[in-house]
Amino acid sequence: MEKAYLILADGTVFAGTAAGARGSVIGETVFTTGMTGYAETLTDPSYFGQIITQTFPLIGNYGVIPTDFESRRIWARGYVVRELCDNPANFRSAGALDDFLTAQKIIAIAGIDTRALTKKLRADGVMNGMIASGDGSAEIIRLLDNPAEKERLLAEIRAYRVQNAVQSVQDSATAPAPSDDRAKKRVVLFDFGAKDNIRRELERRGLAVITVPCNTSAETVQKIAPDGIMLSNGPGDPADNAAIIAEIRKLCDSGKIPMFGICLGHQMLALARGAKTAKLKYGHRGGNHPVKDTATGRVYITSQNHGYAVEGGSLPGCATLRFVNANDGTCEGIDYTDIPAFSVQFHPEACGGPHDTNFLFDRFLEMIQCH
């Protein structure tokens, strides 16, 4: 089998076998604990710029199912698995995962100790890495034996940064606008890297969804005169999006249109209201994250994918901490008391993941109907 290597920014090397496309790629190495939903994970735009490590040992056993995709393509930089299934068994499968990775030109590595890799990322924090396979991989490994060349290579790996993340994952150019049928309530969905299931959940509740690009102005949104505004998930550091945050702030200042933010949308809404965000050591990614509702004391299991979080102690007086992470106490949701708005860090649309918090879309619908 053809060899491949994962080289971390601290010089740690994991040897495995090549999968997907051949070549070399640098990205931010992260891990996700999802036992299923690998196709949804790969097509989630929030993973832009990252090398995804699946902690579940067998990946690809039910093939690739296009109707489960969360966007039109894979956005991750690379992919790391313990065992990649060659013979999927599922009546819905349209092909093998390895073929899908190859077709999408995603460089992957299989056969490494993903448990050891995950423990390292938990202990040291997420770090950049390089996957190398194909003709040049032996040369890259040879460079690691030369101290000067090794430092040059590691410096190149460490220098990588996820940049222009939200602007790079825009899908809204192909999104159809609904008709002017006012029999339905209308929601503007800001596309910061929106998962398709957010739109599906809104439409399932009888809402007409108008998807707009990330750089849409507050004035343009107000001219549409929607009944609600959905701030979607997306990739990267929320603080990098100063222009978008400024437009969200204008919409908040009007105080008239109900807003619901998810993940990156939650973070940018908080920044627009004066809160702060910070990068987590290794983030929350997967489908088994416990979140406590401070209003009721109930705990929900949630799907999550984020490397940044709102600092709970930085919330302004108009914001109430509604949900907290039961593992580390980080902010997982905010209710705003001066405007009709709320947001959550986790994914209530949950593809893939548990559906425990799907009721939040009903809460948004009720807020729209009341205003």
Residues annotated catalytic, as ranges: 263, 347, 349
Which residue(s) pair with 261 in the sheet? 231, 343
Side-chain-facing half-sphere of 320: CA atoms under 13 Å: 12
Q: Could you tell me the CA-to-CA distances from 369 to 168, 206, 229, 253 in Å, in that order?
A: 34, 12, 13, 21
Q: Name the residue among 128, 134, 118, 141 with its Cα closest to residue 20.
A: 134
3-class SS of residue 22:
coil
Burial 317-350, CB ≥16 within 10 A → b, else e: eebeebbbbeeeebbbbbebeebbbbbbbbbbbb
Contact 307, 283 (CB under 8 A): yes
Question: Strand 259-262 vs strand 341-344: parallel, antiparallel, or unpaired?
Answer: parallel
Q: Name the residue among 107, 40, 103 with its Cα closest to residue 67.
A: 40
Which residue(s) pair with 172 in the sheet? none
Angle of helix 196-204 relative to helix 359-370, nearest 10 degrees, comes to 60
Residue type, 179: S
CA–CA separation, 191 vs 54, rounded Å?
Answer: 26
